[in-house]
């Protein structure tokens, strides 16, 4: 997959055993062997996949230093960011150095923001190890969280390349597999009805981590995101379609607490809400039945956890930046594989939809 951005473009390589060949890929893309290169990863990924990457890069003559952070969203913080800047300085990283993110979206966002800021920006490479990271590694958004708001300190910083080694996914916990597939389903729902059909027919293979099925699903997911981002790098209009299910989803994450619902689980419920909205606004019933069937097959939640309070969810959505003067911006399906951006959905209608999710 190639991501085209004006004058620049970068490749996403997808396949098995790519980490073992990282030295060749990095050499081909003119990554410096004279300046130190820093790998950022988390403890869970380090114990399973770090030494393979270190060996491959050292073998090809790169000067490698590795930094391991604690797993989880808490590491996307300014204090961990500062620790990494300290490590980078101590290791002697210079303007020609590269930062490599080996891990999921947390490590990708964090290491990417370090790369965007260090010496006003150095090269960055993503080596994703989760399914969800097909989404986070394409598009160039990098960020850390503030205690009051998620992803609020960040930048746009595109990687030199993305090296997606499918073999790393074999060690991913099943819950993270399903949550990552939620974003793959989203890509189909906004862009490609045939792909939704394919997911529907291959859910079992995907859940069993069949590498051929995973490879195709991630190729499609990356490709759809790349096409959308290529046409709208800075989220002026088209890029908003990637937020299908996210308005409700983000509110659910905030209300349930980030530990109870994973991002992919929250947007699964959000996509059910959007599908209902699509039917309400004149779309065919199929939008709802197909959306629900595919998400259920993937073992994703399709209804609200009982204890969540509707008022709290509505309140959380009112804080969303997409809300203004009694109406909100919603990504609404008009058919499977097609969505529109509706700027005039009333808060009453949204409330009705959220209540039906119980
Ligand atoms: P994550 O990075 O926290 O990974 C999930 C869990 O799996 C972690 O515990 C991690 O240690 C573990 N793990 C990762 N790879 C593994 C492997 N191969 N084997 C075993 N365990 C492994 O989370 P995620 O779901 O990948 O990403 C979520 C983050 O991505 C959020 O912070 C979100 O804001 C961000 N995100 C960013 C974008 C973007 O455009 N930048 C888009 C979507 C999501
Ligand atoms: Zn998302």
ipTM for the predicted complex = 0.99
| Residues 146 and 190 occupy one common structural domain | no
Domain span including residue 58:
2-170
| Residues 179 and 157 occupy one common structural domain | no
Q: Which positions are catalytic? A: 120, 141, 183, 225, 235, 239, 243, 246, 250, 263
Nearest atom, ligand 1, residue 128 CA? 15
Cα 187 to Cα 37, 218, 227, 294, distances in angstroms = 33, 10, 11, 13
CA nearest to 166, candidates 125, 131, 126 = 131
For residue 274, give the CATH number of its domain.
1.20.1090.10
| Residues 78 and 188 occupy one common structural domain | no
For residue 47, give the CATH number of its domain.
3.40.50.1970
| Residues 201 and 346 occupy one common structural domain | yes
| Residues 288 and 155 occupy one common structural domain | no
| Residues 208 and 257 occupy one common structural domain | yes
What pLDDT was estimated at residue 4?
73
| Residues 218 and 288 occupy one common structural domain | yes
| Residues 249 and 163 occupy one common structural domain | no
Domain boundary among 170, 187, 209: 170
Mean pLDDT on 285-311: 96
- Taking CB atoms and a 6 Å cutoff, what residues make up the pocket around ligand 1? 42, 44-45, 48, 71-73, 76, 103-107, 109, 129-130, 132-133, 135-136, 139, 141, 151, 168-169, 171-172, 176, 263
The span from the CA of 344 to the CA of 326, in Å, is: 9
Q: Are the C-beta atoms of residues 4 and 11 closer than 8 Å to each other? A: no
What is the phi/psi pair of residue 126, to 5°?
-105, 130
pLDDT, greater one: 281 or 237? 281
pLDDT band with cut points at 50, 70 and 90 for residue 57: very high
Ligand 2 centroid to Cα of residue 57, in Å, is 31
| Residues 154 and 218 occupy one common structural domain | no
Domain boundary among 170, 190, 210: 170
Domain boundary among 134, 154, 170: 170
The span from the CA of 179 to the CA of 72, in Å, is: 15
Task: Count structural domains, the chain.
Answer: 2
| Residues 149 and 187 occupy one common structural domain | no
| Residues 59 and 25 occupy one common structural domain | yes
Digit-coded pLDDT (tens) for 99-134? 999 999 999 999 999 999 999 999 999 999 999 999
The span from the CA of 253 to the CA of 127, in Å, is: 26
| Residues 183 and 222 occupy one common structural domain | yes
């Amino acid at each position: 997959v190639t991501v085209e951005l004006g004058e620049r473009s970068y490749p996403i390589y997808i396949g098995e055993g790519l980490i073992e060949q990282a030295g060749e890929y990095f050499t081909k893309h003119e990554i410096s062997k004279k300046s130190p290169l820093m790998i950022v990863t988390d403890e869970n990924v380090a114990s399973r996949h770090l030494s393979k990457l270190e060996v491959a890069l050292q073998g090809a003559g790169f000067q490698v230093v590795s930094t391991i952070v604690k797993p989880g969203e808490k590491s996307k913080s300014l204090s961990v960011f500062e620790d990494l800047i300290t490590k980078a300085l101590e290791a002697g990283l210079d303007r020609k150095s590269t930062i490599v993110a080996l891990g999921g979206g947390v490590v990708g966002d964090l290491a990417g923001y370090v790369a965007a800021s260090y010496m006003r920006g150095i090269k960055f490479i993503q080596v994703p190890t989760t399914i969800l990271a097909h989404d986070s590694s394409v598009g160039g958004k990098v960020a850390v969280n503030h205690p009051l708001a998620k992803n609020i300190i960040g930048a746009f910083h595109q990687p030199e390349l993305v090296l997606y080694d499918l073999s790393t996914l074999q060690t991913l916990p099943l819950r993270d597999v399903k949550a990552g597939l939620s974003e793959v389903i989203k890509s189909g729902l906004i862009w490609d009805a045939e792909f939704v059909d394919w997911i529907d027919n291959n859910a079992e293979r995907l859940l069993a981590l069949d590498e051929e099925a995973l490879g195709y699903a991630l190729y499609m997911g990356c490709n759809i995101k790349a096409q959308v981002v290529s046409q709208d790098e800075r989220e002026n209009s088209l890029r908003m379609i990637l937020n299908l299910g996210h308005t409700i989803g983000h509110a659910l994450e905030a209300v349930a607490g980030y530990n109870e619902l994973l991002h992919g689980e929250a947007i699964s419920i959000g996509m059910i809400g959007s599908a209902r909205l699509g039917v309400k606004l004149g779309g065919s019933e199929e939008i709802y039945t197909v959306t629900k069937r595919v998400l259920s097959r993937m073992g994703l939640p399709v209804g609200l956890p009982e204890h969540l309070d509707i008022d709290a969810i509505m309140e959380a959505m009112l804080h969303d930046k997409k809300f203004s003067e009694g109406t909100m911006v919603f990504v609404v399906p008009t058919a499977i594989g097609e969505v529109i951006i509706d700027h005039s959905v009333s808060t009453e209608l949204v409330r009705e939809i959220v209540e039906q999710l119980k």
